[in-house]
């Protein structure tokens, strides 16, 4: 992508940051240059961000209310008796997190919690007095809400990430049909599919966050397969609803499917996905041929002929996002589609205005895949009896931790794989016929001096679920440690931008597959700078759909190791550093080991 406006006036940046801190708004520092495609460029980022902030405040004043919200706030539809749909809560949470509006975000989330159904997902339709008049969830709202929680973790820290993972696990069970990974309309029915509920950009991050990339990649593949079968292969238009095999039902491109170009443009500019690129390229050609000012609210999928007559932001904004596909449409984006979307009046209808705002921030570079850093407030550790909660700060440079256990690496050689990790695993040393050498620490550690644990290598698919990892036994000889009373664990990490999963293996007898079973853990994305993870034990989960289900408290009562493992395959290269691991809030700790030495 062409790099626009890298030189900002310092006073504009300072003013923008100040405004954001006071009012909860976009700042110039939120702007990103997407890695793929093109984006809106007018030569004046300051004017654009101020305009977006003004529009956001208009959107809030017209569509956000505390009336009938149980002491919180909700997004209402004035054109429909001031009711609320779960979709609106999802849109509101997305806008609130990208506009750095924590107060609104928390109020919308709390309102959502009041309106959950029996599955823990939000009922889709609530009247102005707070009565549920449409039971069951809508999957698109569930997806948007969960994704907004992931972004809240990046924006504000705290426990939003753990809450997001909980929502994602519910969604995986309730909104996805595991028989073929198709997206259900909601948790209460499964009669057909909405292509506008296909959100590959969000699904990718769901997999990364929960360590279930294979599951969510299967969902993406099913979405793309059905969309490919259902769309008009010449213009990319797709029906409002389709069958579970991609059959069209009515040939109507209307108020649901109008969101498809926005959803798939997001995946392309964030991730460079080739299917998403092809989808929005088809739609860019079609809508550019129509002209930005001539887009209407309905088309026949088979012929491309107009079936609607209203020109509004709900259709124009997402169509404009398709222009982000390549420089071919840069002029159309800058001079026609973004201005046309921007010029619609915010006091319109809830749906039009919400899609207008979401389309504008994507086109303008204010809807990044990841928001800033995810620094998290660190609770003060509560001391217990016995030794220290500091498992290892690596400063002695050897491979034994403070509790006595030893560091090691592991890989998939025992599963007939050929993934590779450095330092070598015991299996790799054995296969080589050489004497096994101990794990070695590397420098510098996170302070710029000292040492840290590090693994490099690659992951293949010779074993279908290829992996490598590193870890340390808690004790030597390896034995169980009761961590069930602990509040959490902290550690510092940096890496290659890829996803990894920290997990705590257990020797509890309910794990029927032993060390190879589905142990409790938490997935995270490694940035290139040292970052501290503060992980509550209550945030640890098992991965869905495999292994033995064991209570968290039982598993943690007989913990044996802490490990850091790759997520997904193949990986041409991996590089992860770990430093300063500390458990806190435990009722007791193992007695520290004596003077540590390397052992083979």
Residues labelled as active-site residues: 87, 140
**Cα gap 504→104, rounded to integer Å:** 36
Beta-strand relationship, 176-177 and 407-411: unpaired
Are the C-beta atoms of residues 8 and 45 closer than 8 Å to each other?
yes
Tokens of 387: 């030794």
Are the C-beta atoms of residues 157 and 163 closer than 8 Å to each other?
no
**Cα gap 374→205, rounded to integer Å:** 15
Contacts of 186 (CB under 8 A, 6+ apart): 121, 124, 136, 137, 138, 139, 142, 175
**Cα gap 515→1, rounded to integer Å:** 46
Closest listed residue to residue 206, CA positions, set 177, 173, 184, 180: 173
**Cα gap 313→304, rounded to integer Å:** 19
Are the C-beta atoms of residues 111 and 89 closer than 8 Å to each other?
yes
The per-residue b/e assignment along 548-582, b for 16 or more CB within 10 angstroms, e otherwise, is: eebebeebbbbbbbbbbbbbbbebeebbbbbbbbb
User: Which residues are 581's β-sheet partners?
Assistant: 392
DSSP assignments along 548-575, one per residue: ----HHHHHTTB-EEEEEE-SS-EEEEE
Are the C-beta atoms of residues 167 and 152 closer than 8 Å to each other?
no
**Cα gap 183→110, rounded to integer Å:** 26
N residues, the chain: 600
Are the C-beta atoms of residues 79 and 63 closer than 8 Å to each other?
no
**Burial class of residue 179 in the structure, from the number of CB atoms within 10 Å of its CB (0-12 exposed, 13-18 middle, 19+ buried):** exposed
DSSP state of 239: -
Tokens of 300: 């026949």
**Cα gap 243→541, rounded to integer Å:** 33
**Cα gap 209→525, rounded to integer Å:** 8
**Count of Cβ atoms closer than 10 Å to residue 497 Cβ:** 11
């Amino acid at each position: 992508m062409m790099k626009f406006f890298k030189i900002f006036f310092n006073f504009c940046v300072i003013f923008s940051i100040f405004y954001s801190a006071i009012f909860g708004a976009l700042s110039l520092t939120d702007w990103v240059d997407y890695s793929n495609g093109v984006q809106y460029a007018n030569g004046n980022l300051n004017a654009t961000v101020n305009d977006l902030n003004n529009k956001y405040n208009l959107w809030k004043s017209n569509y956000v209310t505390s009336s009938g919200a149980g002491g919180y706030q909700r997004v209402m539809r004035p054109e429909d008796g001031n009711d609320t749909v779960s979709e609106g809560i999802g849109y509101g949470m997305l806008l609130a997190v990208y506009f750095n509006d924590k107060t609104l975000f928390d109020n919308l989330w709390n309102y959502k919690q009041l309106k959950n159904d029996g599955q823990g997902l939000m009922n889709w339709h609530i009247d102005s007095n707070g009565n549920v008049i449409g039971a069951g969830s809508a999957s698109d709202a569930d997806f948007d809400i969960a994704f907004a929680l992931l972004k809240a973790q990046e924006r504000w820290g705290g426990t939003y990430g753990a809450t997001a993972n909980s929502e994602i696990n519910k969604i995986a069970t309730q909104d996805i049909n595991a028989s073929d990974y198709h997206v259900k309309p909601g948790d209460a029915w499964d009669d057909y599919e909405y292509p506008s509920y296909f959100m590959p950009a969000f699904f990718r991050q769901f997999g990364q966050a929960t360590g279930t990339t294979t599951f969510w990649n299967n969902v993406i593949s099913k979405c793309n397969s059905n969309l490919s079968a259902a769309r008009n292969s010449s213009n990319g238009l797709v029906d409002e609803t389709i069958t579970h095999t991609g059959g069209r039902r009515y040939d109507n491109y209307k108020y649901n499917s109008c969101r498809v170009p926005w959803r798939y443009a997001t995946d392309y500019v964030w991730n460079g996905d080739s299917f998403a690129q092809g989808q929005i390229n088809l739609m860019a050609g079609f809508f550019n041929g129509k002209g930005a000012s001539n887009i209407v609210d309905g088309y026949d999928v088979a012929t491309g002929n107009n079936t609607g007559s209203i020109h509004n932001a709900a259709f124009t904004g997402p169509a404009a996002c398709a222009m982000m596909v390549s420089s071919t449409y840069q002029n159309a984006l800058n001079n026609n589609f973004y201005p046309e979307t921007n010029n619609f009046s915010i006091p319109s209808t809830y749906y039009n205005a919400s899609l207008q705002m979401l389309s504008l921030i994507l086109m303008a570079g204010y809807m990044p895949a990841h928001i800033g850093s995810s620094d998290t407030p660190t609770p003060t550790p509560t001391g217990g009896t016995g030794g220290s909660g500091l498992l290892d700060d690596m400063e002695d440079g050897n491979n034994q931790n403070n509790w006595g256990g030893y560091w090691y690496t592991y890989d998939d050689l025992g599963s007939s794989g050929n993934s590779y990790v450095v330092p070598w695993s015991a299996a790799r040393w054995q296969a080589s016929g050489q004497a096994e050498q101990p794990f070695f620490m590397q420098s510098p550690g996170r302070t710029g001096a000292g040492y840290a644990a590090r693994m490099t290598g690659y992951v293949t698919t010779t074993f279908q679920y290829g992996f490598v990892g590193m870890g340390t036994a808690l004790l030597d000889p390896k034995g169980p440690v009761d961590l069930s009373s602990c509040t959490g664990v902290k550690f510092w990490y940096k890496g290659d931008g890829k996803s990894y999963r920290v997990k705590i293996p257990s020797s509890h007898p309910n794990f029927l597959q032993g060390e190879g079973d589905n142990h409790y853990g938490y997935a995270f994305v490694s940035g290139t700078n040292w970052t501290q993870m503060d992980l509550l034990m209550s945030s640890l989960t098992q991965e869905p759909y495999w292994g033995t289900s064991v209570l968290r408290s039982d598993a943690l009562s007989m913990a044996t190791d802490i490990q850091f493992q790759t997520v997904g395959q193949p990986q041409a290269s991996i590089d992860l550093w770990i430093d300063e691991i500390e458990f806190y809030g435990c009722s007791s700790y193992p007695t520290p080991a004596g003077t540590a030495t390397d052992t083979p």
